[in-house]
């Protein structure tokens, strides 16, 4: 049995994974779903890492999954704990010393024109789930945006990048380029948009579990 450590993205919460967790447990695995301290103006990347490490406790056989902005935290956890696999899902992939607030400019992020936030983030998600999402969004006022990413190099952990074929927020062609430039990898792809854990939880669980084989 593996333990999947699920790290949400910017402005997110544990709710972002609420459809995926039962899919993973139905396949015989455990899941840890911490909430990063994004509402704390004093919290930086070290606090994000420590929150996840504390939630993991003494669990082992860890698969760390970082979604979107969680891509800045997931490698820090992988560097701090004995991690079996690191999975970056529709991720922001950092470079050593890069400030999260600078990532957009340094990657050449293509701003989506003419799309609402709902259209960018929740395409393909059932309307009933989209209607719930606003109640679980949190304001991000934490301090990490201007803090250099602290690792000198990527952790020595097997790493997979998984992107949504229909992602409108981080388009596939953009993430393919970033993954190649920063990690030298070709991403795996799955049906769904940016919120693939809400639109295709079963398919995502199956893909994550398949990485263990």
- Domain with residue 58: its CATH number is 3.40.50.1820
Q: Are strands 159-164 and 30-32 parallel, antiparallel or unpaired?
A: unpaired
Neighbours of 49 (CB within 10 A): 23
Total structural domains within the chain: 1
Cα separation, 148 vs 153, whole angstroms? 13
Q: Is the pLDDT of residue 29 over 90?
A: yes
Cα separation, 164 vs 96, whole angstroms? 25
Cα separation, 92 vs 89, whole angstroms? 9
Cα separation, 67 vs 191, whole angstroms? 15
- Sheet with 188-190: list strands edge to edge: 30-32, 3-7, 62-67, 83-89, 159-164, 188-190
Spatial CA neighbour of 211 closest among 65, 85, 27 = 85
The token pair at 111 is 């701003």
Block residue for tokens 């998600």: 125
**Domain that includes residue 64, residue range:** 3-210
Neighbours of 60 (CB within 10 A): 12
The pLDDT of 25-45, averaged and rounded, is 98
Q: Read off the pLDDT of residues 3-12 as tens digits, 9 standing for 90 and up.
A: 999 999 999 9
pTM, entire model: 0.97
What is the structure's pLDDT at 173? 97
pLDDT confidence of 211, banded at 50, 70, 90?
Answer: very high
Give how far Cα 120 sits from Cα of 10, 129, 195, Å: 14, 15, 9
Q: Read off the pLDDT of residues 102-126 as tens digits, 9 standing for 90 and up.
A: 999 999 999 988 899 999 999 999 9
Spatial CA neighbour of 85 closest among 66, 63, 117, 111 = 63
């Amino acid at each position: 049995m593996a333990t999947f450590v699920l790290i949400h993205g910017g402005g997110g919460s544990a709710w972002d994974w609420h459809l995926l967790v039962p899919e993973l447990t139905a396949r015989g695995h455990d899941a840890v779903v911490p909430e990063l301290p994004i509402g704390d103006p004093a919290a930086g990347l070290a606090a994000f890492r420590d929150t996840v490490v504390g939630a993991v406790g003494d669990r082992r056989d860890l698969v760390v999954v970082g979604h979107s902005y969680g891509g800045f935290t997931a490698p820090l956890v992988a560097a701090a704990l004995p991690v079996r696999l690191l999975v970056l899902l529709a991720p922001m992939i950092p470079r050593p010393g890069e400030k999260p607030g600078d990532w957009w400019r340094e990657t050449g992020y293509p701003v989506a024109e003419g799309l609402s936030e709902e259209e960018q983030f929740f395409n393909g998600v059932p309307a009933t789930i989209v209607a719930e999402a606003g109640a679980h969004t949190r304001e991000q006022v934490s301090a990490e945006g201007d803090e250099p990413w602290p690792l000198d190099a990527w952790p020595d952990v097997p790493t997979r990048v998984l992107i949504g074929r229909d992602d409108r927020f981080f388009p596939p062609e953009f993430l393919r380029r970033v993954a190649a430039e920063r990690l030298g990898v070709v991403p795996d792809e799955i049906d769904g948009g940016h919120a693939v854990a809400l639109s295709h939880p079963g398919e995502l669980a199956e893909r994550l579990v398949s990485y263990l084989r």
